[in-house]
Amino acid sequence: MIKITIKRDSKQYREFQVCGHAEFDDYGNDIVCASISILTISTVNALDAFTDANFVLDQDEKRGLIHLTFHGEMDHDTKLLMDALVLGVQSTAEAYGTDYIQVIFEEV
């Protein structure tokens, strides 16, 4: 199962973590894992290329881990990209179910 944890305070996103493998299908054919990976990696790349967001990224491909922590204030573009990520992972979770994806929101 892929576990996605999104942490935010009353003003902005603070961090997110994606961990695990969906095991929807065999390695190389798992469209659920591929979908979440594309959403996550594209968001990280867009944050880096198109915003001035200050963040730290930790990743481990074998464990299926991406953990991104924001530092400082979040601008409009950064929030928009994070909103798009949340929409994408929630839509994917709704389409494939909680056996494969769990999305958790935490207030910090």
* pLDDT digit string, tens, across residues 26-49: 988 999 999 999 999 999 999 999
> Mean pLDDT across the chain, nearest whole number?
96
Mean pLDDT of 46-65: 94
CB 32 within 8 A of CB 51: no
pLDDT of residue 63 exceeding 90, the answer is no
- Tell me the residue type at 4: I
Cα–Cα distance between 50 and 104 in angstroms, integer? 26
Strands (E) located in 20-100: 54-60, 65-71
More confident residue, 63 or 97: 97
